[in-house]
C-alpha cells in the first residue's frame, strides 16, 4: 500500500515537523526530570494518531479516497489537520490551566505548539500549489501531440 493511498497515514505524517522539536527536547531535557514538559508532545501525537485512525476507518467503510480528486483530497487533509491542530492547542491550553504542563521551566512562548496555526496556513498554501500544478499538468497536451 502506498502512503498516498491512505488518508489516515497522510494526516499523521502531516505532523512530521513536531518530531525535530521532540528530538531536541529529548536531547536537552530528560523525560524523567521534566515529564510535564512532554505533555504537549504526547497530546499532539495522540490526537494526530487518533484522527488518522478515524480518517482511515471512515475511508475503509466509505471508500471515498479513491473517488476524490486531488483537490478534494487536499481539502479533506487540510481540514482534518486543522481540526486536529485546533483540538491539540485547545487540550494543551486546558491542561496548562490545570497546571499539568511544564514548558521546561519556561513559558508557553517557546513551545512548538505556537507553530500549529502557521502550519495550517503552510499546508493550505502547499495544497493550493499542488492543486494548481496538477491542473496545469493535466491541461498540457501529451508531448509530440501538440497542434501542427
By 3-state DSSP, what share of the chain in percent is helix, strand and coil, each rounded to 5?
A: 75, 0, 25
State percent of the chain over pLDDT 90.
Answer: 80
pLDDT of residue 5: 85
How large is the average pLDDT for residues 7-15? 96
Cα–Cα distance for residue pair 88/118, rounded to 1 Å: 14
How sure is the predictor about 12, in pLDDT bands with cuts at 50, 70 and 90? Answer: very high
Cα–Cα distance for residue pair 11/78, rounded to 1 Å: 8
pLDDT tens profile 69-118: 999 999 999 999 999 999 999 999 999 999 999 888 887 777 898 999 99
pTM for the structure as a whole: 0.89
* 40 or 111, which is more confident: 40
Residue 145 has pLDDT above 80, yes or no: no
Residue 55 has pLDDT above 80, yes or no: yes
Alpha-carbon dihedral sign for residues 98, 118, 11, 79? positive
pLDDT of residue 147: 61
Amino acid at each position: 500500500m502506498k502512503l498516498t493511498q491512505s488518508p489516515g497515514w497522510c494526516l499523521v505524517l502531516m505532523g512530521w515537523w513536531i518530531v525535530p522539536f521532540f528530538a531536541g527536547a529529548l536531547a536537552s531535557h530528560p523525560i524523567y526530570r521534566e515529564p510535564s514538559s512532554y505533555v504537549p508532545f504526547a497530546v499532539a501525537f495522540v490526537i494526530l494518531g487518533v484522527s488518522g485512525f478515524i480518517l482511515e476507518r471512515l475511508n475503509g467503510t466509505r471508500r471515498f479516497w479513491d473517488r476524490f480528486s486531488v483537490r478534494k483530497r487536499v481539502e479533506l487533509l487540510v481540514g482534518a489537520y486543522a481540526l486536529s491542530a485546533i483540538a491539540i492547542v485547545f487540550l494543551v491550553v486546558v491542561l496548562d490551566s490545570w497546571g499539568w504542563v511544564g514548558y521546561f521551566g519556561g513559558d508557553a512562548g517557546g513551545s512548538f505548539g505556537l507553530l500549529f496555526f502557521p502550519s495550517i496556513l503552510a499546508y493550505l498554501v502547499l495544497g493550493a500549489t499542488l492543486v494548481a500544478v496538477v491542473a496545469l499538468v493535466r491541461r498540457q497536451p501529451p508531448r509530440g501531440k501538440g497542434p501542427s
